[in-house]
Amino acid sequence: METGKIAKQTIAFQKTLFENTFGAMSMVQDQTEKMADTFLGQLPYDTEEGKKTMTDAVKMYKDARDNFKKAVDDGFAKMEEIFVQK
C-alpha cells in the first residue's frame, strides 16, 4: 500500500516538473519566434517565398511540440491509471 502511494507521489512530482519545464521551453520558443519574425520582417530583401518557408517551419515545430506534449500527457495518464487501480 505504501509503495503505491509513493509511486503516485513520484508520478505527480514528475508530471509537475514536466509541465513547468515544458511551459518555460514553450515561452522561450514563442519569444524566439516573435524576435525572428520582427528581424526578418525588417530585411529589405526578404521574399514572400522566404516568409512562407519561415511560417511553414514555425507551424511544423509547433505541431511537433504539441504532439510531444500529447504523447507525454498520455504516458502520465496511463501511469496514473496503473497506480490508481492498485
How far apart are the C-alpha atoms of 52 and 26, rounded to whole Å?
A: 22
Band of residue 22 on the pLDDT scale cut at 50, 70, 90: very high
**What are 48's three cell numbers?**
514572400
Distances, alpha carbon 63 to alpha carbons 23, 44, 53, 56, 85, in Å: 15, 30, 15, 10, 33
Q: Is the per-residue pLDDT at 71 higher than 60?
A: yes
Tell whether pTM > 0.85.
no
Q: Which tens digit of pLDDT belongs to each residue from 77-86?
A: 999 888 876 5
Residue 85, pLDDT score: 67
Sketch the domain layout of the chain as residue ranges. 2-85
Q: Are 36 and 50 in contact (CB under 8 A)?
A: no
Q: Which tens digit of pLDDT belongs to each residue from 25-65?
A: 999 999 999 998 888 888 888 788 888 888 899 999 999 99
